[in-house]
Amino acid sequence: MGADTHKIYINGQLVDRSEARVSVFDHGFLYGDGVFEGIRVYNGRVFKLDAHLARLFRSAKAILLTVPLSLEALRAAVVETVRANGLTEAYIRMVVSRGAGDLGLDPLRCSQPTVIIIVQEISIYPPEVYERGLDLASVVVRRPAADALNPAMKTLNYLNNILAKIDGNQRGVPEVLMLNREGWVTEGTADNFFLVKDGVLVTPPTYVGILNGITRQVVIELARNLGYGVSESNVTLFDVYNADEAFLTGTAAEMVPAISCDGRTIGTGRPGPITRRLTKRFRTYARGEGVVALDSITVRT
Ligand code: PMP
């Protein structure tokens, strides 16, 4: 499907990609004032849609933004947009911004939030990355404290992550680890982090300042169902360097093995057995083969 045939949802209308426009006075654009979600369509089903919608509403509530649609209406809009694009494997970007206001940053001047849903083919890491694993680096930029800009909120204000990404680009790595002010490992720029030590999965707890990823939650559940211990506990770079295995989780990237950090080889320097087993399990689950994710919504017509 060519780019020009894409249908984009804007404020209740499905329009051609070339017609999809928002105001230059939209505070999503001017100030990063808004919230968003990234969601996957696997095998004709929207994966964990309700979990994503619930998180969008929580992020919006936290910034005192009223989503101008009910949860049911937004769910229907997502399904309608996916169907209109005729894709059975896709990435969905849902954005609710504060809407058009004036040049002052006061959200009270924005009367109508903007709702956008984009559905596109997915562009993730090349297959080699999943085979070989990727190199990580810890970066100087810190994840903000919960009382500054709480990373639990998935807002349009991603400059903290972008600065970390720039740091990563300078270091020549495709993803980074961000620490919080206390030096605990938090997450990547768009992914959560897990390590494996002595057969147990360890992932930073939400209170260190992370986005509580839907993929993270799924992987924790799948790992426990497979009989692995999972500990949500503080992680230092020392723990990362000395892990047996490591991987990242995120909607776009899914599960990606990490094989080094700051030049220190993690484990054998190859994707580890637990990472590989869990990745296989995740893919089967996401695609609805075997046990179907109960809250996946079928869009295939
Ligand atoms: N952390 C950050 C900062 C992210 O942007 C994302 C991706 N949205 C994640 C973690 C992973 O979350 P999810 O599994 O819900 O995509």
Choice from 150, 192, 217, 218 to test ligand 1 binding pocket (greatest atom count within 8 A of CB): 192
Beta strands in 224-301 (DSSP E): 229-232, 245-250, 254-261, 264-265, 297-298
Residues 160-183 have pLDDT tens digits of 999 999 999 999 999 999 999 999
Q: Which atom of ligand 1 is nearest to the CA of 151?
A: 3
Instruction: Indicate which residue of 7, 48, 154, 165 is catalytic.
Output: 154
Choice from 189, 251, 285 to test ligand 1 binding pocket (greatest atom count within 8 A of CB): 251
- Cα separation, 100 vs 29, whole angstroms: 9
Say yes or no: 32 and 65 in one domain.
Answer: yes
- pLDDT-derived band at 291 (thresholds 50, 70, 90) equals very low
Domain count, the chain: 2
Say yes or no: 204 and 267 in one domain.
Answer: yes
Residues 58-104 have pLDDT tens digits of 999 999 999 999 999 999 999 999 999 999 999 999 999 999 999 99
Flag whether 294 is in a domain: no
Q: What is the pTM of this model?
A: 0.95
| 180 CB within 6 A, ligand 1 | no
Is residue 151 within 8 A of residue 143, CB to CB? The reply is yes
Quote the tokens at residue 98. 């504060």
Beta-bridged to residue 93, according to DSSP, are 38, 118
Quote the tokens at residue 102. 């004036």
Is 154 labeled as catalytic in the residue annotation? yes
| 191 CB within 6 A, ligand 1 | yes
Write down which residue in 73, 99, 120 finishes a domain.
120
- Protein residue with least CA distance to atom 2, ligand 1: 190
Q: How far is CA 166 from CA 51, 160, 174, 211, 235, in A?
A: 30, 10, 10, 20, 23
Residues 15-43 have pLDDT tens digits of 999 999 999 999 999 999 999 999 999 99
Domain limits at 66? 3-120
